[in-house]
Amino acid sequence: MKKAIIYFYYYLLKFKNKLIYGGNTIVLMYHRISDVKLENNQYLTISKANFETQIKYFKRKYKILSFEESWKLPFYKTGIVFSFDDGYANFYNNALPILKKHNIPALLFPVTSHLESKDYFWWDKLVLIYEELPDLYYLPNKEQLVNKKSYNYSILHDLIKNKKTDYIEKWLKKIMNLNNLSIKFDDEFRSLNISEIKKISSSNLIKIGGHTHTHFRFSATKKMEFISDVKKNTTILEKITSKKIDIFAYPYGDHNQLIDSELLMNQFNYLFLANDYYSNHFFKSKKIISRILITDIIDNELINRLRKFN
Ligand SMILES: [Zn+2]
């Protein structure tokens, strides 16, 4: 009953917003476009074919918008804006050719800590490490061997996900050493490199924004440390692209009002969340943009996923 009331209120509010502000704009949040799927990272990986199927559907059903153009739409129309987080090389290799083919503008928010190494981001590294671990293995800070069934991937992920990135990197090194693992990183989930970012930035279709240097979780530590990680990221990106970096996406969508005001006052024109909510031209004027996560779904699943935000 309570759930039904919440739904009713949500749809009523959405209807009211559309009447007052015009049609919604849905800002999609993508991560990896790749045909390689590892058991524990499938959720955020979309195959090239499905990505193109999604694009074709969006082109038929919605108005594709760039971030910069006006989002003022008639109430019966819905806009779609594409955004890609983290800055995977597979954005350059797999997504960009498809975006260019369909002339789709997009936003890209790269992390900059891995531009000069082929090392994976920690969450993908954990996926590979977990695959290599034997049934009984050593866990950092635990004396006895643990069982892979009880200490599965999501338990390990939960153990470290709220820590600072340098703590996580040390932890991953430790678990590899304790269990004598050596892992080969292929090209599929590496970060973009400097020359790829340069080429992407020279394309008129793609606007680049900040996403912190180390994929810093805002609530993991002090505000000043977060801000300096943000600055490091934008400085590097501005040097590579010779463009002002004036938009920013919070890693994990983790933020509060204080940091919003500070970043808007000192550094950015717009901030992007990961809060599973629609946007519109009025919300855009408030400078804080809602986004929805998009996964490897097509047809009815995709239609149902978007229905709530149309
Ligand atoms: Zn991210």
Residue 88 Cα to ligand 1 middle (Å): 10
Indicate the domain borders of the chain: 2-114+192-307, 122-178
Residue 111 Cα to ligand 1 middle (Å): 7
Strand bridging mode 270-272 / 247-249: parallel
| Tokens matching residue 90 | 């597979």
pLDDT at 249: 98
Residue 76 Cα to ligand 1 middle (Å): 32
Residue 35 Cα to ligand 1 middle (Å): 20
Residue 86 Cα to ligand 1 middle (Å): 5
Residue 120 Cα to ligand 1 middle (Å): 13
Residue 15 Cα to ligand 1 middle (Å): 31
Residue 215 Cα to ligand 1 middle (Å): 6
Phi-psi region of 212 (alpha: psi -120 to 50; beta: other; left: phi over 0): left
* Count, residues in the chain: 310
Residue 31 Cα to ligand 1 middle (Å): 8
The CATH class given to the 2-114+192-307 domain equals alpha beta
Phi, psi for 165 (deg, rounded to 5): -60, -40
**What residues does the ion ligand 1 have nearby, CB within 5 Å?**
85-86, 251
Q: Which residue carries 């990183």 as its tokens?
A: 185
Residue 274 Cα to ligand 1 middle (Å): 9
Residue 84 Cα to ligand 1 middle (Å): 9
Residue 109 Cα to ligand 1 middle (Å): 8
Query: CA end-to-end span of the chain, whole Å?
Result: 24
Residue 116 Cα to ligand 1 middle (Å): 18
Residue 212 Cα to ligand 1 middle (Å): 9
Burial (Cβ within 10 Å: 0-12, 13-18, ≥19) of residue 11: exposed
Contact 48, 99 (CB under 8 A): no
Q: What is the pLDDT along the chain (310 residues), one digit of tens a residue?
A: 788 898 899 999 999 999 999 999 999 999 999 999 887 777 789 999 999 999 999 999 999 999 999 999 999 999 999 999 999 999 999 999 999 999 999 999 999 999 998 889 999 999 999 999 999 999 998 888 999 989 999 999 999 998 888 899 999 999 999 999 988 888 889 999 999 999 999 998 999 999 999 999 999 889 999 999 999 999 999 999 999 999 999 999 999 999 999 999 999 999 999 999 999 999 999 999 999 999 999 999 999 999 999 9
